[in-house]
Amino acid sequence: MNWSLFFGELVSGLTLGSIYALIALGYTMVYGILKLLNFAHGDVYMVGAFIGFFVLQWLGGPLTTAVTGWLAIAIMFVVAMLGCGALGVGIEIFAYRPLRNAPRIAPLISALGVSIFLQNSALLLWGPQFRSYDTFDLIGVKSYHIGRNFFISNIQIFTIAASFGLMAVLTWLVARTRTGKAMRATSFDREAAEMMGIRVDRVISFTFFVGSALAAAGGVMFGIVFGQIFSLMGFTAGLKGFTAAVVGGIGSIPGAMLGGFLIGLTEAFATGYLPGGSTYANLYVFALLIAMFLVRPSGLLGSPVIQKV
Amino acid sequence: MVGPNLEGGVPPGPGVVDQPRVGVDEWVANVDERREAQKGLTGLVRRAWEGVPPAGRLVILLGPFAIFPFFANEGNLYRYGLITVVYALLALGLNVVVGFAGLLDLGYVAFFGFGAYLYGIMASGHSGHHLQAEIAIPIAVVAAALVGLLLGLTSWRLLGDYLAIVTLFFLQAFVIFVNNANGGPSDFSYPFVGRVDLTGGANGLDQIDPLNFFGYHITTTKGYYFYTLISLALLMTMLYFVNKSRTGRAWRALREDPLAAEVMTMPVNRLKLLAFMFGAGTAGFTGTIFGAVQSGAFPGDYDVGLLITIYAIVILGGLGSIGGVVIGALVVNGAPELLRSSSNARFLFYGVLLLALLVAMRPWYRPVVVLLGTIAFGAVVRVVVAAAWPRGTAGHVQGGGAFGRALDHWVLIPTHVDRIAGWAYFVLILAALVLTLVRGWWRTIALIPTLYLASFVWENKLVEQVSGATRLILLGALLVVIMNVRPAGIFGTSRVEIV
């Protein structure tokens, strides 16, 4: 067995998976609380990647930054997360809030509209061409190896660690804080939560803020790891993120993380090992999704929905 | 949300008598009364429309289409006529899946592409086979329906949103597949046959034969137009009867409440599959026409852009409305086609703004105030900017005749505008959002600079890409706005929910 290929795919799968997991978290949180599939989420991720890019240019470009490397990266993350958080809240207020009591299909189509709007606005403003982050020199890429075959770069370590860090913060937020308690209550029963004095609209806005901020972090990470971003990157990534959320069991936060890593690993190993893998990796991910549904319709960690009439 | 079940018992206050109160039995009970009471032009049109027998309605809807070719030249017939009818046909099929049965199928366009590619494989110079259309089309339709059946199987277990994502992924898989299945080194090696060039990859499948029925070739645009129009008329008639039939009623029951339908012993799973197959078959059939018309099938034609367009048509026409689809196709295809030339686009843009102002603002003097205010505002801004920042007025409006020259003296056209126009676009979005939050006279006043800004952005940024990004931006915004204003679509009847 070719261990160097195996470990190579493993590491790249984990890196990719951590980005998918960050996107999936936004989907799963919004779905858990509103039962809404937020199609625009992938495009929020794309906008996050672009905000990171422009912040880097504003700081003087990747080769001549005004501040030290890691500080520049930190500023990129913070600005992108705050900007996209605001974008997410805006989308919620204008596209979804008026449709709270509409038939289920209406907010979905509204979300589709927002997605196409964001995507083409990006195309209009920033053009279809690829933009390079060029942050490798800024960070100073080093590659570490364990044994003869296991290689990992400091960027990959950073990505995986940072996404685990964000997930830990999120878990703490949902499980331990008052706001998190309000979120769980709202997702359990919105009406009852409102009667208990929870300001449901505010909780929903907050959920959108957190979810979009996580997506933005994923976008910036993608730019740092893979170097190139473009205005149509949101769609496929959003689809993968949602697949991850569904595979993990939608509404479940650990499920989204698990699903993200599973999708990332599937994609990486399909690229490395399966016939036609480099072009058809997405086909294999799709096959996994279908198989998943046939075996466990509510996802790996999801609980089956009991419908009460 | 304060639940409607809370409001139900409370008698309406004096101020809210006229508001439709969804979820209150009384409102449901006097639905006909209120419809009868519709006054003015809309009520008149509506009653007149309902008085026309179904066959007459079909003639009224499609009659203008039938005489259109005698007035149009080849290019216009293709762009305005044929494509509209193809879209209408596609939208009809989608209407069955989404409008009748309520299944959100986002992979629908894949079947359209599937039909085109399959026909191309069976009859083209690319593949080397030349089947007659009367054999190839039924095969393509049945195959598309079978694939629809397979995709529909997932709908047994998945509800609403899950189904949406699986079908969307299916569309993605389809696009990836046709983009790469050219028998190249990165392609699959199939069992028994090895590597085969199925779809021509990113270059598309070319040299597709014209439709050839029993030796009779359809070669002209007019021929394809009438062939498609007749298919549309037949399908509309068929759907009219299906909609009235047992199956149609069952589909609607499924859409309104799958659980209740199941409790009423309706074969829910079989109904879902039937809807999927029907939709997929229609899309496959339309695909064969489209492939033959284009004499080629290209992967970019069957992507999400088209999906959004078809959804916009169905929603505009009203979910579940058969005749509405034709009107939706006319609007959604006609408007962006007019957008293709920038001077047409300009008229359309300002025309729609003006119309929206006149329709949406009451009483009559408000739009007049806004209009005059905007013109005055623009003139003042122009004078101030010309004095303070000469570069701001150095550019010129491209084309547009007298109207364009008039605009030239009103709107700012700076040179090297790219970055400024980008920020202006951003500010315009913010302004439009703020506009929805303010009320009364504040809104009227805030509208004036917003309209001027819209004109600025349009002339400096949007007009560059009217046939590409701008078109889709407007469609996306339209979808959101329609859903906000009328969740059931413009011509759709809002469903009544009794809680």
Q: Give the helix ranges, DSSP H, for A35-104.
A: 41-58, 69-91
The answer to whether residue A118 scores a pLDDT higher than 70 is yes
Contact residues, chain A, for B194 at CB < 8 Å: none
Judged by CB atoms closer than 8 Å, whether chains meet at A120 and B470 is answered as: yes
pTM score of the predicted model: 0.82
User: When comparing pLDDT for A5 and B390, which is higher?
Assistant: A5
The answer to whether residue A172 scores a pLDDT higher than 80 is yes
Q: How far is A156 from chain B (nearest CA, A)?
A: 28
Q: Which residues pair with B208 in a beta bridge?
A: B124
B159 CB-near residues (< 8 Å, 6+ apart): B258
Q: Which of A31, A104, A289 sits opposite B166 (nearest CB)?
A: A289
B162-181: per-residue pLDDT in tens?
A: 777 788 888 988 888 888 88
What does the pLDDT read at residue B29? 59
B355-366: per-residue pLDDT in tens?
A: 878 777 777 788
The answer to whether residue A175 scores a pLDDT higher than 50 is yes
Judged by CB atoms closer than 8 Å, whether chains meet at A290 and B166 is answered as: yes
The answer to whether residue B109 scores a pLDDT higher than 90 is yes
Is the minimum CB–CB distance between A124 and chain B shorter than 8 Å?
yes
CATH of domain B44-340: 1.10.3470
Is the minimum CB–CB distance between A289 and chain B shorter than 8 Å?
yes
Is the minimum CB–CB distance between A294 and chain B shorter than 8 Å?
yes
Judged by CB atoms closer than 8 Å, whether chains meet at B304 and A235 is answered as: yes
Judged by CB atoms closer than 8 Å, whether chains meet at B172 and A125 is answered as: no
A147 CB-near residues (< 8 Å, 6+ apart): none
Judged by CB atoms closer than 8 Å, whether chains meet at B180 and A280 is answered as: yes
**CATH fold of A3-295, please?**
ABC transporter involved in vitamin B12 uptake, BtuC (1.10.3470)
Q: Which of B154, B164, B304 sits opposite A108 (nearest CB)?
A: B164
Top residue of B307, B484, B497 to mutate, by most chain A CBs within 10 Å, is B484
What does the pLDDT read at residue B429? 87
Domain edges within chain A: 3-295
Cβ–Cβ under 8 Å, residues A20 and A241? yes
Specify the range with the lowest mean pLDDT, choosing from A126-130, A263-267, B159-163, B370-374.
Answer: B159-163
Contact residues, chain A, for B479 at CB < 8 Å: 109-110, 112-113, 116
Contact residues, chain A, for B488 at CB < 8 Å: 103, 106
Contact residues, chain A, for B161 at CB < 8 Å: 31, 35-37, 104, 108
Top residue of B167, B169, B493 to mutate, by most chain A CBs within 10 Å, is B169
User: When comparing pLDDT for A4 and B32, which is higher?
Assistant: A4
Specify the range with the lowest mean pLDDT, choosing from A59-63, B23-27, B337-341, B427-431.
Answer: B23-27
Nearest CA among A59, A242, A226, A1 for reference residue A134: A226
The answer to whether residue B235 scores a pLDDT higher than 90 is yes
B237 CB-near residues (< 8 Å, 6+ apart): B58
Specify the range with the lowest mean pLDDT, choosing from A255-264, B219-228, B395-404, B481-490.
Answer: B395-404
What does the pLDDT read at residue B400? 63
The answer to whether residue A68 scores a pLDDT higher than 60 is yes
B462 CB-near residues (< 8 Å, 6+ apart): A124, B425, B470, B473
Judged by CB atoms closer than 8 Å, whether chains meet at B308 and A239 is answered as: no
Cβ–Cβ under 8 Å, residues B180 and B186? yes
What average pLDDT does the structure give for chain A? 86
Domain edges within chain B: 44-340, 344-466
- Percentage of chain B surpassing pLDDT 70? 83
Judged by CB atoms closer than 8 Å, whether chains meet at B425 and A106 is answered as: no
Judged by CB atoms closer than 8 Å, whether chains meet at A106 and B311 is answered as: no
Contact residues, chain B, for A279 at CB < 8 Å: 176, 180, 186-187
Mean pLDDT within A300-308: 67
- Chain B residue with the nearest C-alpha to that of A309: B259
The answer to whether residue B32 scores a pLDDT higher than 70 is no
Judged by CB atoms closer than 8 Å, whether chains meet at A103 and B186 is answered as: no
What does the pLDDT read at residue A309? 55
What does the pLDDT read at residue B494? 54
Contact residues, chain A, for B98 at CB < 8 Å: 105
- Chain B residue with the nearest C-alpha to that of A289: B166
- Torsion angles phi and psi, residue B402, rounded to 5: -65, -40
Specify the range with the lowest mean pLDDT, choosing from B40-54, B76-90, B264-278.
Answer: B40-54
Specify the range with the lowest mean pLDDT, choosing from A79-83, A93-97, B36-40.
Answer: B36-40
pLDDT confidence of B186, banded at 50, 70, 90?
low
Mean pLDDT within B254-282: 89
What average pLDDT does the structure give for chain B? 80
Nearest CA among B80, B83, B76 for reference residue B293: B83
The answer to whether residue B5 scores a pLDDT higher than 50 is no
What does the pLDDT read at residue B201? 79
The answer to whether residue B11 scores a pLDDT higher than 60 is no
The answer to whether residue B195 scores a pLDDT higher than 80 is no
Can you tell me the distance from the alpha carbon of B230 to that of B149, in angstroms, rounded to the nearest whole number?
27
Judged by CB atoms closer than 8 Å, whether chains meet at B469 and A200 is answered as: no
